[in-house]
Structures are given as structure tokens and as C-alpha cells.
Amino acid sequence: MIKILLIGCLLFFTACQKKEENKKQESKKSVFVIKPTIKDDLEKRIFNAVASSSNETKLSFKVQGNLNYFKIQIGDEVKENSLIAKLDSKPYELKVSQVNYALSESLASLQNAKNSYERVKKLYINQNASVSDIDNARSSFEASKAKVENIKKELEYAKLQLSYTELYSPINGVIGAKFVNENENVTVGTPIVLVSDKFVDEVRIHIPEMFINKIKKEDFVKVFFNSINTVVNAKISEISKVASSNEKTYLVIVKLEEKNSLIKVGMSADVYFNFEEKGKKLVYLIPSNSVLNDKDGYFVYVIEKNGNDYFTKRKNIKVGNLQKEGYEVISGLNENDLVLKAGMSEVFEGMAVVIGNEKAIGN
């Protein structure tokens, strides 16, 4: 009987204790807290870029003429050594024909000069021709031989010019751009098409001068193609040493480390650079209504845990600029601090509180 009474008393005492604790918890002020966010100056480290291929070529003719064959379209795939365009070749074929005829005549003249030289040489040996006769015959033969060699070179050049009337792709790729239309007269060096490798392997960015010394070759970056919602790992491959005259920016080329057929030449992209300096202190942002000040300066209330209870604690801070997101906190906080979000006028140092959004902040 006594044992039962003791157990009953113990249960009653425990229930009373729990009830008292619950009352105590209910009497505590409920507060909401946040964690400081690291200030991330994205506008200072994201730059717009354009996708390109390192293996791309503007093709042009080495001779002038009328473009009488040009069936290729933008986006067409082409194979190495496939025909892209042709000029009217008749003028060049005529030139080859004329030089061929001149070569035939010069070869005939050479044969006559050779025969004449052989006859005079025999007469000279038999003392039936003078020294001047054999000299003249030799000179005529040598001149004919030289003329034949010159015409052969002229024929070689004429055939080369004829071959230049056809334009072939130097690589397997795609047509990125067309600069002329069929039946136009084009001059030497006029761009006809842009041929690019099928896979884009780089992007080009113009970096302002204030950031150019914060990057170096082989630095890793992230490239985001918004149109296809794709992020690609990349590495800086080239950095210009000379700024553009108009914008004072430097060309930076970033090599993509992954191939993706969805990425096309000319696509826009955002390149994410990491300009964080070693040893540089982090700057945090907290809401402006979390910050108080008095004669000792700016401060916030943070919540600290002691056993199963939470208590308020004052932390002095050094603030920077006031932005729309709140105050910049240069020192005094770390990213794990639980900062009182509102109601600071109703709390005091060492006050026991209950966190109303404990699950939301991950504690």
C-alpha cells in the first residue's frame, strides 16, 4: 500500500513539474530569428558572353568573278573538302586554253631551234660554219627553251587561278553565316561564308579593367546558357593584354570543358567568376529593423542556447552601407548566428525566449 502511495506521489510530482515547465515556457516571449546572409555582389562577377568556336573560318575566293553557284544555307552541315560555291570559270578556262596554245607554239619553235642548232653544230665540226653561226644557233635554242619554261609556269598559274573559282570547306562543320548571294560579282577576299566547327568550344567575354587583374589563365569558371538552361564547366584560356579603345574592356576567352550539341554559335551566356580574395573578410546582410544603436554603437540581439533554453545576447557590430536588403555587417557576426528579426525593444540581455521559427532556420 505504501509502495503504491509513493508511486502515486511521484507521478503527481512529475506531472506538476511538467505543468510548471509548460507554464514557464508559455510565459516566455516567442521570437523570430534569421541567419545573416553572405553578401554576394553578383553584378560584379557575372559577365555576359557570346558562344563561339575556336575552329571557325571566313571563306573567300582568291580570284574575282560572278558567283554562279551558291546553294548552301545557314545552318547546313558541310564535310571537309565539300564544294560550297563556284565562280563563273569561263574567263579562267579561256586563259588556260590561250596559254596552252602558246605553249604548243613555243614547243614547236623550240624543236625547230634545237634542230637548227644540231645542223649548225655538225657544219661547225666539219668547218663549214663559222663561230658566229653556231653562237647564233645556240642562242636561239636557249631562248626558245627559256620561253617554253616561262609559258609552262604561266600555264601552271592559269590552272591555279582556274582552281580558285571553286570554294571548298576546310573542315567538317556548319555554315554559321552567309555574306553574299548567288549571281553577285565578288572581288578577291570578299567574305562568302563563315564555317564553324559543329561543337561550340568557347565563349568570349569583355571584362572591365577593374577586374582584369583578378583573373588568370587556367582559372575555373561556370558558364550558364539561359536559353537551354544548361551550366557548363569551363576554364580561362586567353586573356587580352590590350583594352578595347571604346569601352576599356579586355577580351577573355573561356574554353568549355564539355561538348553540347544544343549550344550554338552566337548564343548568349553568363560567365560566373570567383573574385574572392584570400583572407578577405566576408560581408553579411541583415534586415535594417534587426539593427539597434546606442552610445556604444550599433548592435543586434542574437539567441544562444544553454541546455534546453534560449537566451538573448547583445552583439556589437560594425555596419557598412544600408541597402534595400538591409545593413551590411562588416564585423561582429558570423553566418551561424541567430539574429533577432523584430521586437528588439521588448527584450533585454539574458532574457529567456522561445524561437517561433526554430524549424525554419534548421535548429
The whole-angstrom separation of Cα 305 and Cα 300 is 16
* pTM confidence score: 0.55
- Determine the average pLDDT of the residues in 120-149: 89
Considering the chain, what is the average pLDDT of its residues?
86
pLDDT 10s digits, 69-85 = 999 999 899 999 999 99
SS3 19: helix
Residue 211: pLDDT band (50, 70, 90) is: confident
Condensed to tens digits (0 to 9), the pLDDT of residues 17-45 reads: 554 444 444 567 888 888 888 776 544 57
d(CA 91, CA 102): 17
Query: Mean pLDDT across the stretch 164-181?
Result: 93
pLDDT per position as a tens digit, 271-311: 998 776 555 667 888 998 889 988 989 999 999 988 888 99
Q: pLDDT at position 145, please?
A: 93
pLDDT > 70? residue 360: no
Q: pLDDT above 90 covers what percent of the chain?
A: 49
The CA distances from residue 315 to 39, 287, 293, 323, 348, in Å, are 19, 15, 11, 21, 12
C-alpha cell at 238: 586567353
Angle separating helix axes 131-163 and 90-125, nearest 10 degrees: 160
| Per-residue model confidence as pLDDT tens digits over 95-118 | 999 999 999 999 999 999 999 989
